[in-house]
Every structure is written in C-alpha cells, then in structure tokens.
C-alpha cells in the first residue's frame, strides 16, 4: 500500500462514526512506536510533521522513515504537514511527497484566510494532495504555534459554509475549546468543550470531515512518572477521553495528538535513566520511550478513536 491521501479514510470514518489519529512525528522511535501500534490493531494512520519537526529532523529523513514504516507495516498512511503557515512551506511539502497539508490561516482575518487557503488548495489539488484549513483559533504554546488565551476564539459556525465553498478545502479544523500543549485547563477547572458549535458546523456541512487539534488527554500516569523521576511539571490537564470519543462519533474525522506522545517518551526516558544512572547507551532508554508510545497509541486507537480493524 503506497502513502495515501486522507480522502478514503475520512469518508469511511465519517460514515462509521470513528476518527483517524493524526500523530506528530519527529524521529525514528516515535514513528516506529506509532506505526507498530497501528499495525497490531490494524488501523489507518495520519503521521503529521510540523515546521519544527522538519527543522529538527529534515524533511527528507522524516519522509524516508515514514516510507520505511509504510513498507514495514503495509498500512494505509497519510503524510500531513501540520500547521503550514504560508504557501511556501505547503508547496515544499507537496513537492517533497506529502499527501496532505494544513494551511493554517486562522490568525488572519476571514478574507485573508480565504485567499491564502484557496491558493494552497489550487496548487495541492493540481498535484493530487488534499488540504486542511482552519477557522477559529486555539490557545496554547508549542514550537511554531503560540497563542495566548485572550487571543483565542471559537469557530463561528455561520462562516464555515462560505469558507469551504470559496477555498475548496478537503477538511476543516475548528476551535471548540481544546488547546495545544499539556496545560489545557486550569487546575480545579472542569474541562468543557463547545459541542454545540461542533453540532452546528456539522449541520451546515453535512458529510464534511472536521478536525480537532489540541486533543491530547495529558495522561496523568505519564506526568506522574516524569515527576517521580526528577521532573517538575506543574499540574497538567488535557481533554478527557470520553469527550474525544463523543467528537469521533460526530463529524470529527481527524484527532491531533502530540503532547501525549511527548509525555510517553519523556516518562520512559526519565524512568530508565533514574533506575539505571550509569546507563549511557541511547538504545536502552529510547526503547522505553518507544514502548510507551506503542502502548499509548494502541490505547488511543482502540479506546478513543475507534479506528481499529479499519485499515
């Protein structure tokens, strides 16, 4: 099975009431952990690469590693640019073999977002590549994405039909209260998502795949392991898994997960090094991180996304 677009995956996910996991990848161990898990439970996958990941590992290394994973597992894998901020990076990823790109025009006013997104869609579709756009702004801080809570905003459902019609995007990321990173809700705050917005968007765009960013659950066990092994993470709260399951049963076909992978990897590395302070073979501590990622992703696929046995 070659590297594929997400078109077929989304169609089946929408009709079947489940979602495809879009996992951020930065190195070989992360790619192996995710794809080995997906293989075990026979799930389709989206592997996504941010500008920061391309800078860290180089486009060509990540592309070749993903091709190797595809050859190794035989799974349908879509390779996606996460949070492309302009036409140039989208073009570079399309020319470099990605099958899907996100143009994140969400920081721009509506008309500018439409213009930049439509330009990317034209180039992408001419090259057989699909495009994710975004309306509304998530809060949160990661390498390339840095939005203060006061600058975030929910998606306005009354804008979505016009945006999709004028841009031609294949999927749409919306903001309903999730955010990027490990600190999504304040300690003591009850996590809440605006399912009413998702419902209204779905009503206005029947059959159209919706994307949820900032969807890590921030697994407490991993934060605990990190803090018991020399770490000092403040209270971290993510999106409860039942909310993600509910979104997956609605119009959400793609659920983005990065922070949980980071926590799983870091917990494994910290635990091994604390238990074996004389260890200096990277294979001995990276393997624990990779094992954690495999378990995490298997659990996500089977218990949250519902994409097992759908490859």
Q: Residue 177 and residue 157: Cα distance in Å, rounded? A: 14
Q: Any catalytic annotation for residue 82?
A: yes
List the single partner that 36 binds among ligand 13P, Zn ion, ligand G3H, none, CB under 5 to 8 Å by kind: none
The residue from 15, 72, 82, 151 that is catalytic is 82
- Mark residues 157-196: x for contact with Zn ion by CB under 5 A, - for none: ----------------------------------------
- Mapping DSSP to helix (H, G, I), strand (E, B) and coil, where does residue 263 land? helix
List the single partner that 215 binds among ligand G3H, ligand 13P, Zn ion, none, CB under 5 to 8 Å by kind: ligand 13P
Residue 97: phi and psi, rounded to 5, are: 100, 0
Q: How far is the CB of 132 from Zn ion (least distance, A)?
A: 10
- Binding stretches for ligand G3H (CB under 6 A): 24, 50, 52-53, 82-83, 142-145, 180, 258
Q: How far is the CB of 125 from ligand 13P (least distance, A)?
A: 22
Count CA atoms within 13 Å of residue 228 on its CB side.
11
List the single partner that 53 binds among ligand G3H, ligand 13P, Zn ion, none, CB under 5 to 8 Å by kind: ligand G3H
Q: Residue 173 and residue 189: Cα distance in Å, rounded? A: 25
Q: Which is nearer to ligand G3H, 256 or 307 (CB)?
A: 256
DSSP per-residue codes, 174-242: E-SS-EESS--S-TTPPP---HHHHHHHHHHSTT--EEE-S-----HHHHHHHHHTT--PPP-----HH
The two structure tokens encoding residue 99: 């099958």
Strands (E), the chain: 20-24, 45-49, 77-84, 100-103, 130-135, 139-141, 146-147, 171-174, 179-180, 210-212, 252-257
List the single partner that 257 binds among ligand 13P, Zn ion, ligand G3H, none, CB under 5 to 8 Å by kind: ligand 13P
Closest Cα partner for 20 from 41, 45, 2? 45
The two structure tokens encoding residue 43: 């799930």
Q: Which is nearer to ligand 13P, 162 or 235 (CB)?
A: 235
- Binding stretches for ligand 13P (CB under 6 A): 24, 82-83, 180-181, 213-216, 256-260
Residue 213 in contact with Zn ion, rule: CB under 5 A: yes
Q: Which is nearer to ligand 13P, 173 or 311 (CB)?
A: 173
List the single partner that 144 binds among ligand 13P, Zn ion, ligand G3H, none, CB under 5 to 8 Å by kind: ligand G3H
Beta bridge partners of 77: 45
Q: Which is nearer to ligand 13P, 170 or 258 (CB)?
A: 258
Q: Which residues bind Zn ion (CB under 5 A)?
A: 213
Q: Which residues are catalytic?
A: 82
């Amino acid at each position: 099975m070659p590297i594929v677009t997400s078109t077929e995956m989304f169609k089946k996910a929408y009709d079947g009431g489940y979602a495809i996991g879009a996992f951020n990848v930065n190195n070989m161990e992360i790619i192996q952990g995710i794809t080995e898990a997906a293989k075990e439970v026979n799930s389709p996958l989206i592997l996504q690469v941010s500008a920061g990941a391309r800078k860290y590992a180089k486009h060509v290394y990540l592309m070749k590693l993903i091709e190797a994973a595809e050859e190794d597992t035989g799974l349908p894998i879509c390779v996606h640019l996460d949070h492309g901020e302009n036409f140039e990076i989208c073009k570079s990823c399309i020319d470099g073999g990605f099958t899907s790109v996100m143009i994140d025009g969400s920081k721009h006013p509506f008309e500018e977002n439409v213009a930049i997104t439509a330009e990317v869609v034209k180039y992408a579709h001419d090259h057989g590549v699909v495009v994710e756009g975004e309306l509304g702004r998530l809060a949160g801080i990661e390498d390339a994405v840095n939005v203060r809570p006061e600058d975030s905003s929910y998606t306005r459902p009354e804008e979505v039909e016009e945006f999709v019609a004028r841009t031609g995007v294949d999927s749409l990321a919306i903001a309903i209260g999730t955010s990027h990173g490990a600190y999504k809700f304040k300690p003591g705050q009850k996590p809440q998502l605006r399912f009413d917005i998702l419902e209204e968007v779905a009503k206005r765009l029947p059959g159209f795949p919706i994307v949820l960013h900032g969807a890590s659950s921030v697994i407490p066990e991993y934060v605990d392991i990190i803090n018991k092994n020399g770490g000092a993470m403040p209270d971290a709260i993510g999106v409860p898994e039942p909310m993600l399951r509910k979104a997956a049963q609605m119009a959400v076909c793609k659920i983005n997960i990065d922070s949980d992978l980071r926590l799983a990897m870091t917990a494994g590395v910290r635990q091994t090094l604390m238990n074996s302070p004389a260890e200096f073979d990277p294979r001995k501590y990276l393997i624990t991180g990779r094992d954690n990622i495999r378990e995490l992703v298997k659990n996500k696929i089977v218990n949250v996304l519902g994409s097992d046995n759908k490859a």
